């Protein structure tokens, strides 16, 4: 699944696929991964999340975007929109983010926040992550 998700994210970053077009593909890949990773106990009905919980989470994330802006020497070098349903995997693929930053981003996504969630600046360099 990581290879498939990476391919979709690459198509979005290249502009060959819009975030709206990628959202249902990403949702299907995440559902496939969730079903494949379900422990035997959950499959037998002992614990785990109910399907309705997954549906409401998907509805919460559907249509929303995570924007990543990277500025080097005062010049924007990355301005990427990622469907929020794929943001967890995308954040794990971003080099240079600390585990604290990753945790902060994941919590912001889970809690339904909107707006800037991470801004790191060092001289003329900046990383800004916003939920739209």
Cα-Cα end-to-end distance for the chain = 26
Q: Which H or E run includes 126?
A: strand 125-131
Place of tokens 């919980």: 53
- Mean pLDDT to the nearest integer, 98-119: 84
Using the 8-state DSSP alphabet, how is residue 13 labeled?
H
Please give the tally of structural domains in the chain.
1
Q: pLDDT averaged over the chain?
A: 74
Asked whether the beta carbons of 13 and 76 are under 8 A apart, the reply is no
SS3 per-residue string spanning 72-95: ECCEEEEEEEEEHHHHHHHHHCCC
pLDDT in tens, 17-68: 787 777 777 777 777 776 666 554 333 333 333 333 444 555 555 678 888 8
pLDDT at position 82 is 83
pTM of the model: 0.54
Question: Which domain, by its residues, includes 12?
Answer: 2-131
Asked whether the beta carbons of 113 and 91 are under 8 A apart, the reply is no
């Amino acid at each position: 699944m990581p290879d498939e998700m990476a391919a979709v994210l690459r198509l979005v970053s290249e502009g060959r696929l819009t975030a709206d077009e990628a959202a249902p593909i990403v949702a299907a890949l995440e559902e496939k991964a969730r079903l494949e990773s379900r422990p035997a106990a959950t499959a037998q009905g002992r614990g785990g999340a109910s399907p309705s919980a997954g549906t409401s989470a998907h509805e919460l994330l559907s249509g929303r975007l995570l924007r990543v802006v990277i500025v080097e020497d005062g010049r924007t070098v990355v301005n990427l929109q990622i469907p929020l349903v794929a943001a967890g995997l995308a954040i794990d693929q971003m080099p240079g983010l600390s585990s604290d930053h990753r945790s902060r981003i994941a919590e912001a996504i889970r809690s339904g926040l909107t707006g800037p969630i991470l801004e790191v600046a060092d001289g003329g360099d900046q990383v800004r992550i916003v939920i739209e």
